[in-house]
Structure 1
Amino acid sequence: MTDKPIRVGFIGLNPGIHWAATAHIPALKALPDAYEVVGVANTSVGSARKAANAFGLPHAFENAQALVNSPEVDLVVVTVKVPHHHELVTAALNAGKHVYCEWPLGNGLAEARELADLADAKGAVAAIGTQMRVAPEVEYLRQLIADGYVGEVLSTTLVGSGGEWGGQTDAAHAYLYDKANGATVLTIPLGHTLAGMREVLGDFGDLSARLINRRGATHVSDTGETIPATSPDQVLVQGALESGAAVSIHYRGGMSRGTNLLWEINGTEGDIQVTGATGHSQIVQLSIRGANGDATELAPLTPPASAYEGWPDNSLTRNVARLYALVAQDIRSGTRAAPSFRDAVALHGTIDAIERSAAETASK
């Protein structure tokens, strides 16, 4: 492919506070030489026209199939709810397009495998939006561990809050509370963080888990109704990494008045703590502290200033922009540097193992 901007078509782009508008559009604007957003398809042509007008896009497609069939689109970006990923990504790949799909890739492991197989068969660049993996702080952490800052890793502990999956939500997010939709505290905030943990510490080994639903219902603030909550709001995981290091995880729905993200890595020569404002580690600004050798107190560990140069100041936009930069490299150069559908399958496999373990525990 030439060095002309890669033409992007969005399936699921709306003005306002929606994810594509707040994260993807600013990220692409930060890469003007690499990308040009040319069109959108939404649930109706009226919605597509509204979005196209709001973002100054030349094309408002009648539907998703029209978008993926268009010769004006090189890269299809899928930013809709999880249950629609399989159908839309399949259509894009069958139309010969490259694809960037938001995480989770599919509604479960089987769908993810099907999409990865199809992407491989089509030879497409197929990227998954696990952008925590490319955060400057995570890349710095990976190097610290590789350089032996903590020595041999003995254990890692993770505590986080999902924000949603608590006692109150709004109509736009009510679908998160139905576990059948595949958008749970396990798959989204913890899933993103598991991708980052794997990037730093390697693959997971044997895991055992419990999924607990303590609330059972949630209040929808803008409609006044109370809806059932079948999605677990407590996720407990323990086990080991492939390296043998111990793993302990507790993610919970809602927000805590105390700790909302704490990730510790403990080793034979030192310790590291990673903290953030919420358990959505892919979005928030991460802070790192550590100590090793004779040091007795944790001190800030900051990535070099060069890691942030040329990138957006906001961590939400910056991480997505860094992933898009890898996608552009892959499309133009034939590399496979961006998190891929195969990476997504591996992450889905870990989540599937957690779900199966929890189901076995619950059946006893």
Structure 2
Amino acid sequence: MAQPIRTGFIGLNPDSHWAATAHLPALASLGDTYEVVGVANSTPESGRKTAEALGLAHAFASPADLVASDQIDLVVVTVKVPLHLELVTLALEAGKHVYCEWPLGNGLDEARQLTELAERQGVVAVAGTQARAALEIVHLKQLIADGYVGKVLSTSVIGSGGNWANTTSADLYYLFDAANGATMLDIPMGHTLAAMRDVLGEFGALEAVLRSNFDTVTVTDTGESKPKTAADQILVQGTMASGTACSIHYRGGTSRGTNLLWEINGTEGDIQVTAELGHAQMVQLTVRGARGEDTELADLMPDPALYEGRPEFPGARNVAGVYALLAEDIRTGTRTAPDFRDAMELHGVLDKIARSAKRSM
């Protein structure tokens, strides 16, 4: 039996945030494929508390100590986006395999730097665009490839970001500052575009408008009003590289209607994907379709047996899918998991959207 992949986290709190709610259950669902052995947080004290709470063997005083340790095979970076470049660079220069949360970097230039470094180092470097590993997205990709809708004529998406309206908590205020690279365009829309690329291929010519209904945001913890520079309305239209017509609208906050609606329309049929939030990477997706003589949409979900033994929380289930691919890549030399070059190309799509929006102002 292969030895577990010894994993160290940079940024792990045992009772909150994404690493605890998604990554830890994901790794636990994969049996002894991985072993979480260490952590490094913003302070040595925080790291010690996490290690004690989770029973980890090592609490490293700093990220530099963690990546230098011969007890670590894989470094997982789950901190805020502005710190990704520095911390992922440390891990790569130490020759470690890396799993970095999406967005990979704060913009295209940082993503390119990290991609080039990872490829020079020859390690497995994965970005957490986990919607690509969702059972529903993998199934949807196969439906399209098998010709369920015939020739794809158009695709359209409406999504709600949840955040990015006019209120926030103090902990999430950084999302509302565009300089941090963690906007609605970067996070929920970026994750959804990653899934769209897998299902329908590359994007072609795109034109975009970014607008804000709110220039300030109320911090609910304190009642303060703070500046908001992240757009709360994102409108994109154009084509996929195949020529398929494409339209996307993301809006801040939530709607009383459908908060994720993705339609794919073709010569032979139609498919509709819906969810309770526009974060395709972390919500339960429902797939329905109709074709031929059908007059109503019907269930098109994956085989229920595929969900057995996987985490109930869709976010953790999807992250587990990425970790399963990552383990295979580390052990066999394949490249099946969403890697840094994939992430860099996705950053390129977002950069194209942002540049188009600037031209439209």
TM-score tier by shorter-chain length is over 0.9
Amino acid at match of 1:154: L
Amino acid at match of 2:159: G
Residue 244 (str. 1) matches residue 243 (str. 2): yes
- 1:80 and 1:113 map into 2 onto residues whose CA distance is 19
Alpha-carbon deviation of 1:161?
0.4
SS at match of 1:343: helix
- 2:311 and 2:212 map into 1 onto residues whose CA distance is 38
Give 1:289's aligned residue.
Answer: 288
Post-superposition Cα deviations, 1:271-302, rounded to whole Å, max 9, x if no partner, equal: 01000010001000000110000111111111
Give 1:36's aligned residue.
Answer: 35
Alpha-carbon deviation of 1:17?
2.3
Give 2:73's aligned residue.
Answer: 74
Residue 181 (str. 1) matches residue 199 (str. 2): no
Amino acid at match of 1:218: V
SS at match of 2:127: strand
Give 2:227's aligned residue.
Answer: 228
Amino acid at match of 2:82: P
- 1:53 and 1:224 map into 2 onto residues whose CA distance is 35
Amino acid at match of 1:225: E
- 2:301 and 2:188 map into 1 onto residues whose CA distance is 24
Q: TM-score, normalised by structure 1?
A: 0.98
Give 1:195's aligned residue.
Answer: 194
Give 2:138's aligned residue.
Answer: 139
- 2:103 and 2:343 map into 1 onto residues whose CA distance is 8
Runs of 4+ in 1 over 2 A off after TM superposition: none
Residue 338 (str. 1) matches residue 337 (str. 2): yes
Alpha-carbon deviation of 1:42?
0.8
Amino acid at match of 1:313: E
Alpha-carbon deviation of 1:156?
0.3
1:271-282 alignment to 2 at 5 Å? Answer: 271-282=270-281
Give 2:113's aligned residue.
Answer: 114
- 1:190 and 1:110 map into 2 onto residues whose CA distance is 19
Amino acid at match of 2:46: S
- 2:269 and 2:295 map into 1 onto residues whose CA distance is 10
Alpha-carbon deviation of 1:9?
0.4
Post-superposition Cα deviations, 1:130-183, rounded to whole Å, max 9, x if no partner, equal: 000011000110010001100000000000001111121111101001000000
- 1:168 and 1:53 map into 2 onto residues whose CA distance is 35
SS at match of 2:105: coil
Post-superposition Cα deviations, 1:299-353, rounded to whole Å, max 9, x if no partner, equal: 1111112322332222111101111011111111111110000000110000000
SS at match of 1:313: coil
Amino acid at match of 1:147: D
SS at match of 1:80: coil
1:43-62 alignment to 2 at 5 Å? Answer: 43-62=42-61
Amino acid at match of 1:185: M
- 2:140 and 2:151 map into 1 onto residues whose CA distance is 14
Give 2:156's aligned residue.
Answer: 157
- 1:317 and 1:349 map into 2 onto residues whose CA distance is 27
Alpha-carbon deviation of 1:114?
0.7
Is the deviation greater in 212-221 or in 91-100?
A: 212-221
- 1:347 and 1:111 map into 2 onto residues whose CA distance is 13
Alpha-carbon deviation of 1:32?
2.4
Unmatched 5+ stretches in structure 1: none
Query: Given that residues 174 and 220 in structure 1 are in contact (C-alpha distance below 8 angstroms), is that contact kept between their aligned partners in structure 2?
Result: yes
1:295-310 alignment to 2 at 5 Å? Answer: 295-310=294-309
The size of the alignment, in residue pairs, is 361
Alpha-carbon deviation of 1:58?
1.2
SS at match of 1:88: helix
Amino acid at match of 2:313: N
Query: Given that residues 5 and 32 in structure 1 are in contact (C-alpha distance below 8 angstroms), is that contact kept between their aligned partners in structure 2?
Result: no
SS at match of 1:76: strand
Query: Given that residues 131 and 319 in structure 1 are in contact (C-alpha distance below 8 angstroms), is that contact kept between their aligned partners in structure 2?
Result: yes
- 2:198 and 2:231 map into 1 onto residues whose CA distance is 26
- 1:173 and 1:50 map into 2 onto residues whose CA distance is 23
Give 2:97's aligned residue.
Answer: 98
- 2:265 and 2:138 map into 1 onto residues whose CA distance is 18
Give 1:213's aligned residue.
Answer: 212
- 1:224 and 1:45 map into 2 onto residues whose CA distance is 32
Q: Alignment identity in percent?
A: 63
1:18-29 alignment to 2 at 5 Å? Answer: 18-29=17-28
SS at match of 2:120: helix
Give 1:253's aligned residue.
Answer: 252
